[in-house]
Amino acid sequence: MNPQGALVYLLDFVFSAYIFIVLTRFVLQLARADFYNPISQFVLKATNPLLKPLRRIIPGYGGLDIASLVLVVVLIIVKVVVLSLLLSGAVPSLADPRLILYTLRELAALILNYVFWAVLIRVILSWVAPDPYNPVVRVIVQITEPIMAPVRKLLPPMGGFDLSPLLVLLGIQLLQILFKLH
């Protein structure tokens, strides 16, 4: 791999990781997760430097942390601009409808992938039966429960098996196929 390719890979990873952390902050607040959990504390401390000033401009609305969602969108756009500059030497216009469409599509794909992996991790954790007081397990349960509970009401446990994760995962896959987000 050439040095430019390595730099592109590294920057892509750093942007993607931080976007994931900021999205986690949004999801934690949306799910009303325990913010005293060590995982939540890490997310708070990692995102506060960019979110605190942004919150002065963009307040929350109806319990939603709009500033963190806006930060995710801005970070996706900055990632595209930086990587385009490195790869092609050209900066895409911020008014280009393709950039806006790409950003919205990327945000939708990111949210669906986030939920998919959170549910899948919850399923795997239920198989290995870890300590329910483990901070990771508690955060995963708190994140996924708002999605799983309504589905569980539609499809009650059958013979001790909870099939709601299967229905949620299939629903996410269907949405990804319908909107061609994978």
- Reported as a single tens digit per residue, the pLDDT across 121-153 is 999 998 887 777 888 899 999 999 999 999 988
How high is the mean pLDDT of the chain? 89
Whether the pLDDT of residue 28 is over 80: the answer is: yes
Q: What is the pLDDT of residue 153?
A: 87
Q: What is the value of pTM for the model shown?
A: 0.88
The closest of 95, 71, 70, 91 to 81, measured between CA atoms, is 91
pLDDT at residue 180, as a whole number:
81
Count of the separate structural domains present in the chain:
1
Q: Go through 107-123 and write b for each residue having 16 or more CB atoms within 10 A of its CB, e for each that does not.
A: bebbbbbbbbebbbebb
pLDDT bracket for residue 77 (50, 70, 90)? very high
Per-residue pLDDT at 53: 92
* Domain span holding position 144: 3-178
Identify the band that residue 13 occupies on the pLDDT scale cut at 50, 70 and 90: very high
- pLDDT value, residue 175: 92
Say how far apart CA 39 and CA 35 lie, in whole Å: 8
How far is it, in rounded angstroms, from Cα 86 to Cα 101?
A: 21
pLDDT grade for 15, boundaries at 50, 70 and 90: very high
Residue 1 confidence (pLDDT) above 70: no
